[in-house]
Structure 1
Amino acid sequence: MNHIYEIKGMTCKGCEAGVSKILNEIDGVIKANVILEKEEAIIKMEHHISIDTLRQALPEKYQISEKETRNVFQSDAAKGITTDEKTKLQQLKPLFLIFFYLISASVLLHLKNWNTAEAMLDFMGLFYIVFSFFKLLDLKGFPDSFAMYDPIAKRIKVYGWVYPFIEVALGLMFLFRFEVFYALVGTLAILGVTTIGVTQTLLNRKTIQCACLGTALKLPMTQATFIENSVMIVMAIFMLVKMT
């Protein structure tokens, strides 16, 4: 059964991510889709959950009230599970485009004098710079969204605030070929931990927003996120083996 609730008190993407995290963790909730712009949440439930239970779960700054109930037999588009009625593939289009441009730029930089290792280092550097840019667009909202699946960010909130700057530093290290060995080790460390969280989320079949491109672009957590991290990890391992 799907219910639509009005939620007052959300002021930013961080609030949206925080409310989404809380609602999705309530026992009996299959999926909660929180929409900041509409000040509402669409919640699919295994069984009826009282409004009092929802109110007790949320911080006092948020006021929640039920708007209407939707039939469980409606199509996903009719139920409003996604705000723009896009398929996951369409939602991931920005991610695919970014990867296309990153690969193209890395190849073109070394097209005349091809060097696989150098092209990979440039790809990794550009990857971090571009992805950190999107995270910094909404630095206030990113930590809460990131904490929904990253094991370290869940326990140490400041890590979510620092993470985009770690990406900037690693990106510059790769592009300027500065202490590349330590940048590769750092890549294995941070992306290895994140990939563990992504894997757990996918195995538990939780529907949450991926924070890989921050909160500016609403990307769903899918296998593409796992592949994205895995590509970087494989590259880091390859380069470390090549250096030793």
Structure 2
Amino acid sequence: MTLPQTFPLTGMSCGSCVGKVTKRLQEHPDIAEAEVTLQPPQMRIQTRAALSEADINEWLKPLGKYRVPVTEQASSPDDLPKKDAQTYRPLIILLAYLLLVITAASIMHGGFELSMAMRLFMGGFFVAFSFFKMLDLRGFSDAYRSYDLVAKAVPAYGFVYPFIELGLGLGYIADWQPFWINLTTIVVMGVSLIGVLKAVMSKQAIRCACLGTVFNLPMSTVTIVEDGLMIGMAIVALVLPH
């Protein structure tokens, strides 16, 4: 007796992809039948034993880009570190570096200027955070999709989001189109904040993807403050004289 299972697929672009994935699935010892389609990009398999998303992804790994999206990245409390200063050390160090950059720029500028300080802080924040996310785009996308509203609905958004952050960061540093950069920040971070709030209020042990998969950070009120701070600074920047 076999069990019918259906999984969505990412990385599919042509008939050749269908052929490669189908052939690979048919070689699995627990898969009796496999049907792969391009529209929609998914697989329908008959299995001798239930297979998880992780099982399928491990089997497809030799093919490279083909993957079953992992829709839920919730972890048990034991999988995540404690919510203390040591855990958030990477964020603390990053904050210290940004403050040092602002201090150096203020000295060179001849004095502290709030609008410039906020612009440099936000630019450095976005560039640094996008860098860590891009070290493992796929891993970040999977983790981000576990709590972000847009990424859940449109999985590709998880791959695009780090580039949005990079663009915003460079825009702030270059002081380019400040009105639109700040407005975009409010919208993007606002949507992100809604997902974070829902995740924190659910009291589930969820991994925060703010620094990608390089650091194992738990979702907490620190993430809320982080997103809220960026939104608040963007609002202030909109009303300050430029």
Under TM normalisation by the shorter chain, which class is it? 0.5 to 0.7
CA RMSD of aligned residues (A): 2.3
Which of 179, 186, 189 aligns to 1:188? It is: 186
2:83 alignment counterpart = 88
Q: 1: CA distance between counterparts of 2:195 and 2:122?
A: 21
1:129 alignment counterpart = 127
1:98 alignment counterpart = 94
Distance verdict in 2 for CA 1:134–1:62, change over 3 Å = closer
Compare CA radii of gyration and give the structure with the larger one. Answer: 2
Q: Is the 8 A contact 2:207 2:219 kept in 1?
A: yes
1:173 alignment counterpart = 171
Q: Which whole-Å deviations, capped at 9, do the CAs of 1:16-43 have from their partners, x for residues lacking one? A: xxxxxxxxxxxxxxxxxxxxxxxxxxxx
Q: Is the 8 A contact 2:200 2:221 kept in 1?
A: yes
Distance verdict in 2 for CA 1:157–1:243, change over 3 Å = farther
1:61 alignment counterpart = 56
Distance verdict in 2 for CA 1:189–1:81, change over 3 Å = same
TM-score normalised by length of structure 1: 0.66
Mapping 1:193-208, distance limit 5 Å: 193-208=191-206
Which of 115, 119, 122 aligns to 1:117? It is: 115
Q: Is the 8 A contact 1:92 1:220 kept in 2?
A: no
Distance verdict in 2 for CA 1:200–1:110, change over 3 Å = same
> Structure 1 vs Structure 2: percent identity of aligned residues?
37
Distance verdict in 2 for CA 1:180–1:61, change over 3 Å = same
1:239 alignment counterpart = 237
Mapping 1:215-234, distance limit 5 Å: 215-234=213-232
Q: Is the 8 A contact 1:210 1:221 kept in 2?
A: yes
Residue identity opposite 2:215 in structure 1: L
1:145 alignment counterpart = 143
Residue identity opposite 2:90 in structure 1: P
Q: 1: CA distance between counterparts of 2:119 and 2:92?
A: 20
The 3-state SS of whatever aligns with 1:178 is: coil
Q: Which whole-Å deviations, capped at 9, do the CAs of 1:118-151 have from their partners, x for residues lacking one? A: 1100100000000000000001211111111110
The 3-state SS of whatever aligns with 1:157 is: coil
Residue identity opposite 1:81 in structure 2: D
TM-score normalised by length of structure 2: 0.67
Q: Is the 8 A contact 2:77 2:205 kept in 1?
A: no
1:159 alignment counterpart = 157
| Pairwise CA distance, 1:92 | 1.3
Q: 2: CA distance between counterparts of 1:62 and 1:215?
A: 18
| Pairwise CA distance, 1:108 | 2.5
Distance verdict in 2 for CA 1:129–1:80, change over 3 Å = closer
Runs of 4+ aligned residues of structure 1 deviating over 6 Å after TM superposition are none
Q: Is the 8 A contact 2:120 2:173 kept in 1?
A: yes
